[in-house]
Structure 1
């Protein structure tokens, strides 16, 4: 375990094996885990405490013994000379104090320690605190710039080489060099290993963060898509039925005095239209509720239900002429729903803008792999062309365009040359372009 990682002990990053549950649940392990978490949090809040702790350990283990003997180590066999304690204290301070900024300024800390180490070696002095150069080398490999590491290794090797030449003659120079080079390699390897491990953990945390962001974005996109779909359905249902109800109410109020029976008939049609709209709204809004039971499945409207649209439109006043060509009943349910919604929106717009005295011509044609929808109204009484609806109003034309796009289709709408308004839609019925299933374009 590295020096820095002693403060980062905590819960294991992977779940323990099944047979080790009793070990991980042991009270001592739990206490150590909590202690590691507190140390990690403390190091994040006050990083200088760990550095001061490292200095304190080096002082207790390596500096105090030299001072207790009155100065530096003296060994004639190793050709080391004794230094009085004031000089020893000064060298120890130069070796140990730079460790306080070994993480913030690793290159500077190593340079100072290496300079003091070379000074003591040139003076023929051996201090136990010289181990600080290995700690500084480890810190440089972990926290410093990697381009400084080769030079630092060379300096450390040279400094330790000066120590090797003063070893007893019975010690082989090769053995000494092997031992000293092993300590250098161990310090560098440990620092790089911890550095790589931290980089991997940082990468995993970054990946987890990005995955969390992507998941939130996908959730928001799905919510926005569902809201758009529900808004489109609500517009189709509410817009059509309210237009019919308003037209019937206006006509019933006008005919109440002249033909009471027509007024009563209009009220009955208003009730039927309102109940049908309420049922469709309940089915549409049901997808937004969380249901514990299996929801009741109701077929979506198709081409066969277009006649019911005509009944309500005719009751509001306009005359409707409906023509079909080709095999319509065999179309996919999704295609039929798209046709129904486009026709519903076009009829609603005709009733809303052209009024109750217009004449509507609807043609649905299937030819080869194309389905064509043509809705034309003659406009208000007198054959005058109605103005186009504002582009930013409602979901009408946008909804029709989106539905047609599901089948690689297009929708165009605009004034007719002879007056009135024309809506044309084309759908592609090729198997690769169609949307299969009962849900269709709902």
Structure 2
């Protein structure tokens, strides 16, 4: 039963938020129905004309429609109208409107406004009882009874106000706890990623160091014997050392020590010449052609160019097969930097369409585009990067 009542209460609140005029109209209709018996019932004294009574009732009911948006203004209007009607000797039950409006002031307005409304109500009641002759006998008892009734309206409004503030505080606390929980979760994830990155650095770094040591030793032996494998072995060692350097640079920033890693400059367009020998040593002849003012490009854009060429050539090594050749062109123009990597794809094996995720992400950072696909004699990667404004 309690759950059903709470559900209906929540449903009514949602309806009130969507159509607040429904509740205001319901309150106005209820007060009007409460007033009708006093208007049309028997009276011991002559009553004003029906038109005057209708105007008097309407003047008190109309403020109910903005009582929640403008509670102080609605109370002032109703108090002035009610005092005017009493001064004209028009006594109708619609005066209960003042109770509703005083409740709204206590529930929604400032405490200063509430103090003024309470003082105005006390003065209005005193004047109506003692000066306007609302009662001829037991005036003090009637005044205290009316004062108690209006005090009850104020107490109800303050109770609703306190409950609303309490619920708001609970919601704010819940929101803060949720934010703190999310922050703790993100910190835990970041710590775990840093731990995994450090372990990867140690494991991969160890094995690459072994490869570098073996290649250097083999290169020395091959040189001493005059074998042609000395140069490829030397390039393997240099490539391994470069990989170690970049691994320490990327993963080292995740370490928790205060003294961070010494960060070297990121590779740029000028470093492409050092990238190609390792590709040639792996068995893929590659040529590089550049044009335009490439060295004046920003460091970030140069890094993107280098990484895109590096990824493209890595795909050539993986998918083009033996006997393939590659041609790299980097050109700077008015529309941006265009990078094309073309291979003849002789004996190509593996997937026909690499996803090129990293390449597309780097191009997106510079508002660029990536087009890749087979040609009549191989594979073509065409990337356009734009210089940031």
* Superposition pairs of residues 159-308 of structure 1, within 5 angstroms: 159-165=124-130, 166-169=133-136, 171-249=137-215, 251-252=217-218, 255=221
Provide the residue aligned with 2:7 in structure 1.
34
Q: Which one of the candidate residues 37, 52, 57 is aligned to 1:65?
A: 37
Q: Which one of the candidate residues 53, 63, 69 is aligned to 1:88?
A: 53
Aligned-residue RMSD, C-alpha: 3.4
Q: Is the 8 A contact 2:252 2:261 kept in 1?
A: no
Q: Is the 8 A contact 1:121 1:163 kept in 2?
A: yes
Higher relative contact order (CA 8 A, sep 6+): 1
What secondary structure sits across from 1:59 in the alignment? helix
Q: Which one of the candidate residues 90, 94, 97 is aligned to 1:125?
A: 90
Provide the residue aligned with 2:70 in structure 1.
105
Q: Is the 8 A contact 2:39 2:92 kept in 1?
A: no
Distance 1:241 1:392 in 2: 14
TM norm structure 1? 0.50
What secondary structure sits across from 2:148 in the alignment? helix
Tell me, which stretches of 5 or more residues in structure 2 are unaligned? Answer: 230-237, 264-389
Distance 2:260 2:14 in 1: 62
Provide the residue aligned with 1:54 in structure 2.
27
Q: How much has 1:35 moved relative to structure 2?
A: 2.1
TM norm structure 2? 0.57
Q: How much has 1:160 moved relative to structure 2?
A: 2.4
Q: How much has 1:174 moved relative to structure 2?
A: 1.7
Tell me, which stretches of 5 or more residues in structure 1 are unaligned? Answer: 1-25, 264-348, 356-388, 415-442
Question: How many aligned positions are there?
Answer: 250
Alpha-carbon distance change, 162 to 126 in structure 1, aligned in 2, over 3 angstroms: farther
Distance 2:61 2:102 in 1: 13
Q: How much has 1:43 moved relative to structure 2?
A: 0.9
Q: How much has 1:393 moved relative to structure 2?
A: 2.2
Provide the residue aligned with 2:18 in structure 1.
45
Alpha-carbon distance change, 162 to 84 in structure 1, aligned in 2, over 3 angstroms: farther
Q: How much has 1:74 moved relative to structure 2?
A: 4.2
Q: Is the 8 A contact 1:102 1:139 kept in 2?
A: yes
Q: Is the 8 A contact 1:236 1:396 kept in 2?
A: no
Q: How much has 1:44 moved relative to structure 2?
A: 1.4
Distance 1:195 1:162 in 2: 30
Q: Is the 8 A contact 1:67 1:89 kept in 2?
A: no
